[in-house]
Amino acid sequence: MKRFNVTGTCFADRHYMVNIDERIQKIKKMVDRGDYFCINRGRQYGKTTTLHFLKKALDAEYTVFSISFEGSGDKSFESLDSLVNYFFIQLMQKCFQKDSPQINSKALKLLKQITGKSFFKIKVSEKNVDFIISDFCRLCSKPIVIIIDEVDQAGNYPSFIKFLSLLRKKYLEREENVTFHSVILAGVYDIKNLKLKIRPDENHQYNSPWNIAANFNINMALEEDGIHGMLEEYERDNRTGMDTQKMAKQIWDYTSGYPFLVSRLCQIMDEDLEKNWSDGGFLEAVKRLLNESNTLFDDIRKKLDDFPIIRRVVTSILFNGEAQTFNAYDKGIDIARMLNFIKSDNGKIAVSNRIFEIWFYNLFVSESTTSSLKSDSEIIREGSIDKPVFIRNGHLDMKKILERFCVHFNEIYDTKDEKFIERQGRKFFLFFLKPIINGTGNYYVEAETRDERRMDVVVDYAGERFVVEMKIWRGESYNERGEQQLSDYLDYYGLDCGYLLSFCFNKNKIPGIREVTVRTKRGEKNIVEAVV
């Protein structure tokens, strides 16, 4: 029986998979050119899957050795000599596996001598490894491609950096001395960050021993069309009545094509929800995914602790509405991008996908519940206490939520200054909202509306959707434009009612709730407005 792949190892006859042939062909062109390069993506981003199919695509033209230093132990990295010995032992072992690289008898004989499998052993040392690599490549009948997966662990050791420096030297001299045709490194960290682990001082952290590497700019996210093709195949086999085009769009909207998230959502709907591919089934799958503990979320949590600078970057995006320019040379931005936590969205920083954004919100709200900041924990507590008032017969009463938020906000933050409210106000509404919808719904902020003056929050609860625009009050005319913007957004979602929350610093303001009607091309929209 076919299943959705979530393991990272893919076999097309056993798993439903998005077709990645185009990606493989683009990478093969880099190999054909003789490029040395790195495939650096976040955890469970399809690196191992890609390498598996890349090897298959290369086997006809190249001798491909796909190895890993994962779990090799400290002893293998004691020196360059020990590391190179371990490297050749891995090559030797690959020659006797089921999908072994095809090498001729002369090359195999040399491998046996290098690894001590024959009587005449060649001792590998730092002095002769250069010649040994050339001899081995010369004896092989086809160009050699080396794929090294999971390089992150190896990057902790100076011997590995020396090994890369050796390969770089041979690459630069390959017109005179034969060497590996192409070398591919795969892992989470790029090579300059491996260097950072060994020489953490600022002056040396970007002096890479791999500066010969070609830029790897190939998109490894799954495209919406590819997800649709996978669902079409699934639907032909299972006939669930799913709208495959609509489902593919929903999956892509929430995951931005992050491979593990795509696979996991599909697996939940297929297996855990017994083939429930409805809109309600999808939202339930999202909820279950966000509530589970898995290796991807565990790793994200760990990275936030390891790199506090990432936490500051993500927090500023989520809560402050900061439209921060994407700058790859900013240390925090560079690390967060490398880990696939954030992306460049039209030159601005954005969280890389909606699932991650909701997960970050859930984590930060949970942490703030026990925060030493009284204002954080107090507004969360009020939302939790009032929760029974807001849920009627399983339906969310957003108008009542805004009414109560106005009351609590003015009670708790009445003495705060304008700058504090501008920075923190929208965060407090999200903190207030989270315990109310927790366990049944989720919310996220639409990236295209996120700025210092306006943020649109979309709330999904029990199959219903609510759009709440949060903005800073800039006068009546600006408010009217906000009403029109929100109405247009409601058209996009096919909704007739929306909500507008304004943070007003006018001393003569009248806090509270009112309702207005706005005309759009698709009819009249009812907008509930709250002013605090």
Q: Render pLDDT for 388-418 as a digit per residue (tens, 0 to 9).
A: 899 988 899 999 999 999 888 888 776 666 6
Alpha-carbon distance of 498 to 526, in angstroms, equals 6
Q: Coil, strand or helix: which one is 531?
A: strand
CA 186 centroid distance within chain: 16
Looking at residue 416, what is its pLDDT?
Answer: 64
Burial (Cβ within 10 Å: 0-12, 13-18, ≥19) of residue 233 = middle
Going by C-alpha positions, the residue among 201, 197, 181 that lies closest to residue 189 is: 197
**pTM: predicted TM-score of the whole model, two decimal places:** 0.85
15-16 and 144-149 beta bridge pairing:
unpaired
Per the CB < 8 A criterion, the answer to whether 193 and 46 are in contact is no
Say which residue the tokens 């306006």 belong to: 454
SS3 call for 213: coil
Residue 8: pLDDT band (50, 70, 90) is very low
Q: 121-157 pLDDT, tens per residue?
A: 788 887 899 999 999 999 999 999 999 998 887 877 8
Radius of gyration of the chain (CA): 28
- Tokens representing 252 are 């892509």
Alpha helix stretches (DSSP H) within 414-469? 418-437
Averaged pLDDT of the chain: 85
Give the count of beta carbons closer than 10 Å to the beta carbon of residue 530.
Answer: 25
Please compute the mean of the pLDDT values over residues 164-175 and round it to a whole number.
Answer: 92
Give, for 459, the enclosing helix (H) or strand (E): strand 454-461
pLDDT of residue 206: 45
Query: Pairing relation of β-strands 497-503 and 523-531?
Result: parallel
SS3 515: strand
pLDDT digits (tens, 9 = 90+) for 249-281: 999 999 999 999 999 999 999 999 999 999 989
Q: Provide the pLDDT for residue 323.
A: 63
Sign of CA dihedral 518, 519, 524, 525: negative
- Which residues on adjacent β-strands are paired with residue 526? 497, 517
Q: Which helix (H) or strand (E) is 503 found in, with range?
A: strand 497-503
Residue that has been written with the tokens 């009463």 in this structure? 397
